[in-house]
Amino acid sequence: AIITEGVLAVKAYERQESAVSRLQANIMNVKSATDKHIDSLTKQASALQLTTRFSDEQIISGQAMLATFQLNQGTIETLTPSLLDMVEAMRTSGDTTIDTEQAAKLMGKAMGSASDNIDGLATALRKNGVIMTEAQKAVFKTGTEAERTATLVAIMNQNFGGAAVAA
């Protein structure tokens, strides 16, 4: 039993290191990124792990996926709780289950390339239970990263707000 627990601990550590390595590689592709930003994101993941059912590896994997969309550390930190709410709400609804990376892809697309096809993206989000108004869609077409972030958090809160902490 002790050996099995040791093996499980080693595997968990390896998953953690792999997730952190992906986050480091992805966030360092963002122009303004520093080691402090990576540290801040991993600290956020550790803190969220204490209040949600998500492991820090799962959270960091979602953050790493958001970083592939060239989002800065502040934007990723702002979006992460909403990302977890979405995943948890979908898990408890029973219809469709997605993981943190899949949810991050949807959110990252909304943040990074929505101006190309916001209607198609809105449809993809709607298929996952996310409803947005025409005014909100307009922000994704013309808004700054900060405006898109605030709008996406508002959309996620109205659709899934608090689901991760409530679980």
Average pLDDT for residues 21-40, to the nearest whole number?
Answer: 74
DSSP letters for 91-144: HHHSS----HHHHHHHHHHHHHSTTT-HHHHHHHHHHTT----HHHHHHHHH--
Q: What pLDDT score does 27 carry?
A: 67
Q: Residue 118 — very low, low, confident or very high, per pLDDT cuts 50/70/90?
A: low
Angle value at C-alpha 88, between 82 and 90, nearest 5 degrees: 105
Q: Residue 55 — very low, low, confident or very high, per pLDDT cuts 50/70/90?
A: very high
Q: Residue 11 — very low, low, confident or very high, per pLDDT cuts 50/70/90?
A: low
Q: Residue 125 — very low, low, confident or very high, per pLDDT cuts 50/70/90?
A: confident
Q: Residue 25 — very low, low, confident or very high, per pLDDT cuts 50/70/90?
A: low
Which of 51, 70, 67, 63 is closest to 19 using CA atoms?
A: 63
